[in-house]
Structure 1
Amino acid sequence: MRVFLADDSALIRERVAAMLDASAVNIVGQAETPQGSIDGILSAQPDVVVLDTQLQGGTGLQVLRAVRQAAPRIAFVIFSNNSGPAYRKRYLGEGAERFLDKNTEFDQLTQAVVKASQHATQ
């Protein structure tokens, strides 16, 4: 399974990469800005993108919309501290598979990525 990480925090990206690497997930790219994420995702063509709502200089929604339009088979798992109902509704409504809170659902990320990958390949 190929995964791209889009988060403005290098520390979070490192922590998520380490956790997913332990589950035989191949991290195919990382970015901290919306445009860097879009370019990297479209180039790498991952199965799943782990995406934060806040990126350096923009939002994850910009990334989700652009990639869903260009490559609709790529699945998204939103992983953010901004996890209020309005954020969840907006991102899930735009086609994200799952929305997880970094503070309370960190341990569910690997399972969410695996499930999202399965949906993407169906």
Structure 2
Amino acid sequence: MIRVLLAEGQGTVHGALGLLLGLEKDIDVVAQVGRGDEIVDAALTARPDVALLDVDLPGLGGLDAAARLHDEAPECRVLMLTTVARPDQLRRALAGGAAGILVKDGPVTELTAAIRAVLRGETVIDPALAPPD
């Protein structure tokens, strides 16, 4: 089972993503938080394999929370989720230790594939955020 921590901002339908991920046979959402300043404590308690962090979180932004999580629980792979594709987010996410970043409105099948990929040690970047060649 892949243990997932989910941190969703207020702009999302609270709990919907957690329910969708819970339908996957190999994914268990072990913690859900709504604020960036709750992420590290939740991760240290629940010990997720992967943390899905919304870029826009109250309390502490998701990008800053990702860097703290990387320092406090380096074994947890971080996958960022964003509503608006801004290339600066990609740079900040990777610099902060995230294993990838996706635009939220993609299909759940892409998200679950990305969760499995980052757990294997791969980096996942949504094409909408990739720098032009």
Using the size of structure 1 for normalisation, the TM-score is 0.87
Cα gap change, 1:86/1:10 in structure 2, threshold over 3 Å: closer, same or farther?
closer
Identity %: 26
Task: Judge conservation of contact 1:4–1:28 (CA < 8 Å) in 2.
Answer: yes
Cα gap change, 1:12/1:50 in structure 2, threshold over 3 Å: closer, same or farther?
farther
Equivalent residue for 2:56?
Answer: 54
Larger radius of gyration between Structure 1 and Structure 2:
2
Cα gap change, 1:74/1:13 in structure 2, threshold over 3 Å: closer, same or farther?
farther
Higher relative contact order (CA 8 A, sep 6+): 1
Task: Verify: 1:38 aligned to 2:32, yes or no.
Answer: no
1:67 pairs with 57, 65, 69, which one?
69
Higher helix share: 1
Residue type of the alignment partner of 1:98: G
Using the size of structure 2 for normalisation, the TM-score is 0.80
CA distance in 2, matches of 1:13, 1:113: 20
CA distance in 1, matches of 2:18, 2:11: 10
CA distance in 1, matches of 2:14, 2:75: 23
Task: Judge conservation of contact 1:53–1:82 (CA < 8 Å) in 2.
Answer: no
Equivalent residue for 2:98?
Answer: 96
Distance apart, 1:10 and its partner CA: 8.0
> What secondary structure does 2:97 align onto?
coil
Equivalent residue for 2:10?
Answer: 9
Alignment gaps of 5+ in structure 1: none
Distance apart, 1:97 and its partner CA: 1.3
> What secondary structure does 2:94 align onto?
helix
- Counting matched residue pairs gives 119
